[in-house]
Amino acid sequence: MKPIKIFGNHDQNTIDQITRCVNHEGEMGVLCADGHKGYAQPIGGVVAYKDKISISGVGFDIACGNMAIKTDLKLSDIDGKIHTIMDDVVKNISFGVGRVNNTPVDHEIFDREIIWSEEPFKSWKKMAADQLGTVGSGNHYVDIFHDEYFNIWVGVHFGSRGLGHKTATHFLKAAGGKDGMDVDPCVVDDKSTIGEDYIRGMLLAGQYAYAGREYVARYVVKNILGGNIVEEIHNHHNFAWREFHNDELYWVVRKGATPAFPNQKGFVGGSMGDCSVILEGVESEASREALYSTVHGAGRVMSRTAAKGKFVKNEEGKKIRQDGLVRHDEMVAWLKKANVILRGGDLDEAPQAYRRLPDVLKDHEGTIKILHTLKPLGVAMAGKDINDPYKD
């Protein structure tokens, strides 16, 4: 049996999925406590490969990740202003699928002619340039927090937008990968032509995602809050890294999992109505077994359609709305009790659709330590009328 380290409690389907991934050309794996089924590899799943890389393991939203900025502002500096602040966030930051930035960003990433002059990247350059600094939809967000010392933080969560989605789709098709959840992962040799080209595209999408998150988070700090940056914490959680473990070199594919090497800081978000954290990896036997990985969020306990319902046909063949498991008044009541101001969002992202972050963090005890707890003041997400094609 190949080693798989499992944190927390999971349904058998999720365990079967990580087992399938490891057994399909992987060497070892991890399932974090926020895990649930994903496309070909579970969210919260980590798989290590020798000389191979999993295109479907990294997923469609390449380099999705989190960034948090600690500012020099205190809670008293924005007292009574959070409604206006959140209005300014949604006014100045573009949310939603296919959205472009109303203020074009001139970034050095587009000066790298070697890769942008080649297909397929050449065809995607204009789209990428137009979308840099936009947030997207689904569970992607811009949040305002305060910590236990009443310092104000800005946190963002999103990835490489259309560039990452097109990159994944292109190379999955080229490699003959299968679509769906209950399929073998699409694994390619890292020295093959397709493997080398995919890795170049993944790295480009990673640089692009970093640039986008930096633009949005810094814009909110400087242009909306009027503050200064004290500290930045930034991580991908859908990516593949070249790492040494047990004195051997692997490609470590993390889907919805945060790198947590000793002394490495990470920003992990809760749901829209719960606290988030700044954490740090620690050295331990469990950390080594975890391939120095931890959760990327609280983790879903119900699918999006289960949470908000779906349209079905009645006996007369007409489409009717079938209610989900979460009611709108329940979501509103939760946010009101937590004193969180929400812009956008929908029932599929309600707190009731997620685990509680302290619970999943407790399951990783001994591998991480919590440095700061961040209480949300305002949350901005795409509106409920926005469809999210980025499955991961």
Q: Is residue 362 part of a domain?
A: yes
Higher-confidence residue: 291 or 309? 291
Q: Are 221 and 154 in contact (CB under 8 A)?
A: yes
Q: Average pLDDT for residues 352-356, to the nearest whole number?
A: 95
Q: Is residue 295 part of a domain?
A: yes
Q: Average pLDDT for residues 201-207, to the nearest whole number?
A: 97
Distance CA 57, CA 130 (A): 27
With 0-12 / 13-18 / 19 or more C-beta atoms within 10 angstroms meaning exposed / middle / buried, residue 110 is middle
CA dist 111 → 125, 134, 136, 162, 305 (Å):
11, 20, 24, 19, 42
pLDDT band at 340 (very low <50, low <70, confident <90, very high): very high
Which residues fall within 8 angstroms of residue 242, CB to CB, at 6 or more apart?
Answer: 249, 250, 251, 252
Residue pLDDT, tens place only, 299-337: 999 988 899 888 777 777 777 768 899 999 999 999 999
User: 368-383 and 341-345 as β-strands: parallel, antiparallel, unpaired?
Assistant: parallel
What pTM, to 2 d.p., does this model score?
Answer: 0.93
The count of structural domains within the chain is 1
Q: What backbone phi and psi angles, to 5 degrees, belong to 52?
A: -140, 160
Nearest to 52 by CA among 175, 189, 199: 189
Q: Residue 318: what pLDDT?
A: 73
CATH number at residue 147: 3.90.1860.10
Is residue 98's pLDDT more than 90? no
Residue pLDDT, tens place only, 23-63: 999 999 999 999 999 999 999 999 999 999 999 999 999 99
Q: Is residue 124 part of a domain?
A: yes
Q: Is residue 391 part of a domain?
A: no
Q: Is residue 152 part of a domain?
A: yes
Domain that holds residue 95: 4-383
Radius of gyration of the chain (CA): 20
Among 111-125, 201-215, 281-295, 358-372, which stretch is predicted with the lowest mean pLDDT?
A: 111-125
Q: Residue 11: what pLDDT?
A: 96
